Amino acid sequence: MKSLLRIIFAAATASVLMASAVAPSDAASAHRTSTKGFDGLWSVTIMTIYGNCDRSYRYPLVVQNGRVLKADTDSSYQVAGAVAHNGAIRVTVSGGGQTASGYGRLAHNRGAGVWRTSAGDCSGRWSAERRG
């Protein structure tokens, strides 16, 4: 369960922190028509508010063409997620026979949201910052 939560938070954080290098004059139109404005490396912090899961985690995630991806090669878990053109993000992390989901919003170089395990035994908040 603890490693699954780490994965979920990493995926959510990466989604929030990733952004492409868009010129300021092009930023508004790029965010309205494309998810590329969120592409990049993100640092995600995951905090447990309810349940017997590790209190907090920090992980890197990558957003690429609106998809949330792992920033490492660890095969013990899977990440599936997406970022919409308006910054809305939804991520599912699976590993060790467990699943957790997170959702929230990315804006510019930061993001935040909530997460919970599929069984509902742990939940909390996540925040993210762009690193790349």
**Mean pLDDT, rounded, of the chain:** 79
Please, what's the largest Cα pairwise distance for the chain? Answer: 47
Cα dihedral across residues 62, 7, 95, 118: positive or negative: negative
Q: Which helix (H) or strand (E) holds 73?
A: none
H or E element at residue 2: helix 2-17
Question: Residue 30: is its pLDDT beyond 80?
Answer: no
Q: Which domains does the chain have, with CATH numbers?
A: 2-130 (2.40.128.120)
b/e burial code for range 76-106 (CB count within 10 A of at least 16 → b)? ebebebebeeebebbbbbbbeebbbbbbbbb
Residue of 92, 90, 93, 69 whose CA lies nearest to 18 = 69
As given in the structure block, the two tokens for residue 39 are: 């592409």
Q: What is the pLDDT of residue 28?
A: 43
Does the pTM of the predicted model rise above 0.75?
Answer: no
d(CA 79, CA 92): 6
List, for residues 34-85, the tens digit of each pLDDT value: 778 999 999 988 899 999 888 888 888 899 999 999 998 888 888 899 999 9
pLDDT digits (tens, 9 = 90+) for 83-106: 999 999 999 988 888 889 999 999
